[in-house]
Amino acid sequence: MATTAPAAHRCSYEDYEATAKWLGSQTEQRPKMAIICGSGLGGLAEQLENRVVIPYRDIPNFPQTTVVGHQGQLVFGTLEGHQCVCMQGRFHTYEGYDVNQVTYPVRVFSLLGVRTLVVTNAAGGLNSSFSVGDIMLIKDHINLPGLVGNNPLCGPNDDRFGERFLCTSDAYDCDLLALAQQTVEKQGIRASVHQGVYCMVSGPTYESIAEGRALRTLGADAVGMSTALEVVVARHCGLRVLGFSLITNKVVTDDRTLKANHAEVLVADNNRAQDLQGLVRGILAQMSVDPEDL
Ligand SMILES: O=P(O)(O)O[C@H]1O[C@H](CO)[C@@H](O)[C@H]1O
Ligand SMILES: Nc1nc2[nH]cnc2c(=O)[nH]1
């Protein structure tokens, strides 16, 4: 029987606008900062003050989360004086969403007035000096799906969001990274925080031994199934980006008896998510608040 490939899910500017307008009608908060919470890392959103919670199922055009550890709601509120919107749950291509759906919220946030994106994720450690529970400040990424054609900027370019050819050598904001590093020193947590390169793969399989070794050879320090697509779209809209990986497991590169699994990812998050929350809060506390936010 002949099969046809599913059509790419095209989102029009009007779709993004409609979602942004609807969200704007649900709250008077106008965040300048968006935070995407990775697997098991939604606790950050619980710390917001003056919370307004909006389930994804109520939001026009929004995808739904299907992954354990991703709650599926937006939380608006204030963190360390900054008006924020947090995604408690993100979308992945392995769930069956295409790159436009995975990145849909980022363009909506930009239309809402967001200027800075903080991305967090759970990731497997490839760098042999990383331990489970360590935090990696993302200094660069390898967008493997994007490099081979599954890039959210493929297709007609909408100049209202950004230019056709996007530079990504500056994807992770140097000033924010420097501020993050200063906060690490101030909090005395240097031993468990590293800077490194995040590699996005499509998943949902965890790496084979040969794949883990290959990714390490490529120059990746940590690997996961998210983030790079969101960052590409954020940069296309001109947002500043700060990224964190919580190292939830070591990628298996030799011992065949070890088996990566999502339960261990969530357990590591449970144990160490508070360290990441403390670091993010510490960084935000040092960032000047946009006067319009006051
Ligand atoms: O990247 P986040 O969403 O944090 O989740 C990571 O954890 C899941 C696998 O355990 C995958 O979804 C991977 O990408
Ligand atoms: N691809 C991948 N994603 C992850 N997310 C959390 N841990 C891992 C991992 O080891 N590999």
Which of 73, 21, 75, 67 has its CA nearest to residue 49? 75
Reported ipTM = 0.99
Q: Which residues pair with 76 in a beta bridge?
A: 52, 85
Cβ of 29 closer than 6 Å to ligand 1, yes or no, is no
Check residue 292 and give its pLDDT.
59
Check residue 4 and give its pLDDT.
47
Q: What is the pTM of this model?
A: 0.94
The pLDDT averaged over each successive group of 10 residues in the chain (294 residues) is 53 94 96 92 91 96 83 94 95 95 97 97 96 96 95 94 96 96 94 97 95 97 98 98 95 83 73 88 87 55
Domains of the chain, CATH where assigned: 29-287 (3.40.50.1580)
Please tell me the distance from the alpha carbon of residue 232 to that of residue 113, in angstroms, as a whole number: 18
Give the residue whose CA is nearest to atom 2 of ligand 2. Answer: 224
Ligand 2 centroid to 61 CA: how many Å?
28
Check residue 1 and give its pLDDT.
43
Contact 54/76 with Cβ under 8 angstroms?
Answer: yes
- Cα angle for residues 72, 74, 76 (degrees, 5° grid): 155
Check residue 23 and give its pLDDT.
97
Check residue 189 and give its pLDDT.
92
Cβ of 226 closer than 6 Å to ligand 1, yes or no, is yes
* 249 among known catalytic residues: yes
Please tell me the distance from the alpha carbon of residue 155 to that of residue 220, in angstroms, as a whole number: 28
